[in-house]
């Protein structure tokens, strides 16, 4: 049987990397030949998790040949997936996003739940399969949940995420509050990140009402720290808009301490944001907004 490649989305976040690995550990224990891979460089947050738990990063996957067996985690939209995904053999999906722009050639195992993190679904899959969770896998799933739910503060967080994290915390042998805050803070250390990388590190592309939209997000402990670089950020966004024919690029700098975001909207459809937020110098302060999935994406969908 051919090996199956497991991966999360492009511009991978901690959930996309860690869930691919935790699922690979599970499928291996069930006797399958699988390999966790990644569709981009690790961000600083994920690097911190790997350093803390002494975990080695998976291999970069550039594209897949037609007929390659794959499992998608933490995403389902082809616009966010590996090059060649349209002709791959998708065997399974484990995800917590809305299903969109996704189809398969063959019947598929789908584990899709409206929870805060793919790691939470994986925790349930370990239990459903009666497989003991080893320390590495617990560390991976715990890191993913802490990251995706902003330590339970995101509106995407559910009781299932909290329950899973509390169990995983014991196996991983760390204090979740302490480890989680250090993890999130590690991802906000952006001074030596170029403006180009800043707008790409957590960017996702969506097709909304026939328009090409990118929503990018960075976490920070001080919004001004990011926005003092507005000129350079705008230059890179405008370049991305031109190069990729985007209608809208929405960039959010999210204050993980206070749970707010500063929005920066550029592109021909940027005025759509003005239906909700008055933009000044292309910017608006969005009080209480932290989640792309539950807040930024609906904002664009409702207004575009």
Q: Interacting stretch for Mg ion, rule CB under 5 A, among 67-75, 207-215, 225-233, 283-291?
A: 67-75
Nearer to Mg ion, 9 or 91 (CB): 9
Rounded Cα distance between 113 and 30, Å, is 22
Residue 199 beta carbon to Mg ion: minimum distance, rounded to whole angstroms = 15
For 15-25, letters b (16+ CB in 10 Å) and e give bbbbbbbbbbb
Q: Are strands 69-73 and 89-95 parallel, antiparallel or unpaired?
A: parallel
Query: Do 23 and 122 contact (CB within 8 A), yes or no?
Result: yes
Residue 271 beta carbon to Mg ion: minimum distance, rounded to whole angstroms = 26
Is 13 among the residues that bind Mg ion (CB under 5 A)?
Answer: yes
Judged by CB under 5 A, the chain residues 124 through 153 that form the site for Mg ion are 148
Residue count of the chain: 304
Nearer to Mg ion, 125 or 279 (CB): 125
Quick count: other Cβ atoms within 10 Å of Cβ 228?
11
Residue 140 beta carbon to Mg ion: minimum distance, rounded to whole angstroms = 13
Nearer to Mg ion, 69 or 118 (CB): 118
Rounded Cα distance between 6 and 17, Å, is 10
Rounded Cα distance between 256 and 278, Å, is 23
Residue 181 beta carbon to Mg ion: minimum distance, rounded to whole angstroms = 17
Residue 139 beta carbon to Mg ion: minimum distance, rounded to whole angstroms = 17
Residue nearest to Mg ion (CB): 15
Q: Interacting stretch for Mg ion, rule CB under 5 A, among 44-52, 54-62, 71-79, 177-185?
A: 71-79
Rounded Cα distance between 275 and 252, Å, is 17
Contacts of 107 (CB under 8 A, 6+ apart): none
Residue 95 beta carbon to Mg ion: minimum distance, rounded to whole angstroms = 8
Nearer to Mg ion, 173 or 298 (CB): 298
* SS3 category, 151: coil
Tokens of 245: 């024919």
Residue 122 beta carbon to Mg ion: minimum distance, rounded to whole angstroms = 11
Is 74 among the residues that bind Mg ion (CB under 5 A)?
Answer: yes
Is 262 among the residues that bind Mg ion (CB under 5 A)?
Answer: no
Q: Interacting stretch for Mg ion, rule CB under 5 A, among 10-18, 40-48, 133-141, 189-197?
A: 10-18
Of the chain, the end-to-end C-alpha distance in Å amounts to: 46
Query: Do 3 and 69 contact (CB within 8 A), yes or no?
Result: yes
Q: For Mg ion, which residue of 6, 11, 15, 250 counts as binding (CB under 5 A)?
A: 15
Nearer to Mg ion, 15 or 247 (CB): 15
- Chain positions contacting Mg ion, by CB under 5 A: 13, 15-16, 74, 118, 148
């Amino acid at each position: 049987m051919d090996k199956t490649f497991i991966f999360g989305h492009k511009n991978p976040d901690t959930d996309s990397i860690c869930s691919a690995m935790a699922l690979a550990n599970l499928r291996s224990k069930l006797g399958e030949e699988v390999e966790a891979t990644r569709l981009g460089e690790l961000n600083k947050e994920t690097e911190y998790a790997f350093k803390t738990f002494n975990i080695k990063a998976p291999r970069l996957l550039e594209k897949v040949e037609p007929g390659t067996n794959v499992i998608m985690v933490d995403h389902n939209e082809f616009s966010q997936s590996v090059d060649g995904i349209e002709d791959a053999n998708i065997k399974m999906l484990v995800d917590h996003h809305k299903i969109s722009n996704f189809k398969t050639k063959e019947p598929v195992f789908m584990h899709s739940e409206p929870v805060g993190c793919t790691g939470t679904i994986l925790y349930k899959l370990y239990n459903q399969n009666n497989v003991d969770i080893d320390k590495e896998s617990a560390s991976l799933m715990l890191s993913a949940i802490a990251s995706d739910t902003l330590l339970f503060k995101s509106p995407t967080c559910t009781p299932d995420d909290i329950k899973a994290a509390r169990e995983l915390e014991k196996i991983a042998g760390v204090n979740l509050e302490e480890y989680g805050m250090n993890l999130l803070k590690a991802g906000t250390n952006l001074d030596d990140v170029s403006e180009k990388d800043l707008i790409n590190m957590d960017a996702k592309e969506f097709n909304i009402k026939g328009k090409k939209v990118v929503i990018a997000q960075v976490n920070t402990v001080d919004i001004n720290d990011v926005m003092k670089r507005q000129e350079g950020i705008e230059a890179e966004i405008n370049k991305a808009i031109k190069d990729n024919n985007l209608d809208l690029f929405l960039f959010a700098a999210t204050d993980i301490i206070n749970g707010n975001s500063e929005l920066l909207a550029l592109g021909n459809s940027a005025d759509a944001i003005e239906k909700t937020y008055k933009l000044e110098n292309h910017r608006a302060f969005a009080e209480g907004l932290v989640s792309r999935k539950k807040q930024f994406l609906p904002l664009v969908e409702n207004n575009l």
